[in-house]
Amino acid sequence: MQGEQYLFVVSGPSGVGKDSVMAHLRAAHPEIEKTVSATTRSPRPGEAEGVNYYYRTEEEFKRLIDAGEVLEYNYFNGHYYGTLRAEVEKRIAAGKLVLLNIDVHGAANIKRLYPGATIIFLLPPSAAELEARLRGRGTDSEESIQQRLAIAREELARAGEFDLQIVNSTIEQAAGELYDVMVRRAGLA
């Protein structure tokens, strides 16, 4: 599809700081667009349709998958979450820089569907720092932390499959590097 050079995917293990880096980047550069995902979970208080998520029934979500309208999806905690094709394509067709936060498997699917997209793996400075970040959240049990670390090891082993890797030493540094990559790869520099 024309405009694929405007599509960027950030992936990496849980706790590496994807959300923080992307939030910092978008605060500094609001022209970078983030798509709204679809989910089968119910809206939480204060969430709105089309703002936080597109809320769909499981049947509707499965129909969207079957129709090829979901680019990638996950089933997590009893609910589907996914990236809608229309959300991505309307933005890249308009020449907007689009930034997605997608897991390792989903990133590979995006690259398969949009070969001109850039997939970026966000790395922690070290395994010890990743563990410290996960523990520092204070939200997970020891069992959950160990599960996340095991998954992180598998994901880190796939970093070489990505177009680029950025080490998240600080949010500001990683966001700056990500912005530089986006501008250069989109041909805006």
Query: How high is the pLDDT of residue 1?
Result: 67
Tens digits of per-residue pLDDT, 42-56? 998 999 999 889 999
Half-sphere exposure of residue 99, counting CA atoms within 13 Å on the CB side? Answer: 24
Please compute Rg for the chain using Cα positions. 17
* Six-digit token string for 96: 């907007």
Is 80 exceeded by the pLDDT of residue 189? no
pLDDT at 53: 92
Fold of domain 1-33+96-189? Rossmann fold (3.40.50)
Element holding 135 (H helix, E strand): helix 127-137
CATH T-level assignment (fold) for domain 35-95: Guanylate Kinase phosphate binding domain (3.30.63)
- pLDDT band for 65, please (50, 70, 90 cuts): very high
Q: For 166-188, how does the pLDDT look when each residue is reduced to its tens digit (9 = 90+)?
A: 999 999 999 999 999 999 999 98
Locate CATH 3.30.63.10 in the chain. 35-95
Token pair 């569907």 is found at: 113
**Separation between Cα atoms, residue 80 and residue 6, nearest integer Å:** 26
DSSP structural state of residue 32: S
Q: Give span(s): CATH 3.40.50.300, the chain.
A: 1-33+96-189
Average pLDDT, the chain: 93
pLDDT at 138 (0 to 100): 80
Residue 188: partners with Cβ closer than 8 Å, 6 or more residues away: 97, 182
